Structures are given as C-alpha cells and as structure tokens.
Structure 1
Amino acid sequence: MSVDLSVEKILQLHRKAQEQKEDLYNFLRREFPDISPEERLQYLSAILNDHFEAYDYDPKDEIRVDGYIVKRFLPKGEHDAKGE
C-alpha cells in the first residue's frame, strides 16, 4: 500500500478522525493497521498541515508508540472546527 496524500484522502481522514474520541495517531493505527509507523506519521503530518486548528494538544501529553514519541492531538469536534 502506498500513502495517498491527496487533498481528498486527507480531508476524508480528517472528517473521520473528528468523529472519534481518540487521539489522531491511535485513530490512524486503527484505520491503517498494516502500514508502517513512518507511513502513519506521513498521514498524521498531512492532516495536521491542512487542519491543525481542528485539533487540541497539550505539549506535555505524548505517547511512546511504534518506536516513536508522538504528541497526542485530540479532535475538537465538528462544532469547533473552523471552515468545515
């Protein structure tokens, strides 16, 4: 599987993530269990690049997963997302 970073795919993932209560990385782990951590991080970066204002994070809140330290970005929810 190759990483699809198209505008349409990133928007689709962002909208789906906004419906979840879990952090963005764990959502991507569940959504794409068979891709590498590096590919998952590419999706995470692309989503945050385009929709950063739709996620809350505490700079001190992080998880150690798949050999990385990842900040936990939590969806604000559709009612808080700007431009949706």
Structure 2
Amino acid sequence: MERTGIDIKYWTNRGQYTPPHWHGAIELLYILNGEGAVTCDGKEYLVQAGQFIVIDSDKIHEMKCAKVSMMLIIHFSRKRMENY
C-alpha cells in the first residue's frame, strides 16, 4: 500500500461474523459470490454477488455472512487519492 496507495486482497468468508473495525484507507468490497450484510453507522446494507459497497476511511463497520461468500477487498489510501 505504501508504494502504490492500493492494496488488493481476495477473501473467503466461511459464513462468519467480522466484528466492528475500521481502516485508515477507503475500502471497496466487491462480492464475487454469496451474500452478506455490512453494517456501517448503524445502518445495515445487504450485498450479494455482482454488487459492491464502498466504506469511507475510519468508519466503523462489521460484516455478517450466512454462508460461504467470496469477495475482492480493495483498500485505497485516502492520502494518495487526495493527490488526484
């Protein structure tokens, strides 16, 4: 992330709960298959295959998946984006 300002990960959520957390970067979650619920600022957003959600930096969020879901997680450095 330090060199390019972007970090890309492939992640499989095996029907689990990800507790509240935050990132210093902007996060884009692209759902490859399955579905889940992302809660941010007290509001729940349902996401399913082919959809994505963008979470601003430093926003506390959590995720629940009822079954196995695969997703692409992309973190964008806010500082690097401000340069554009």
TM-score normalised by L of structure 2:
0.34
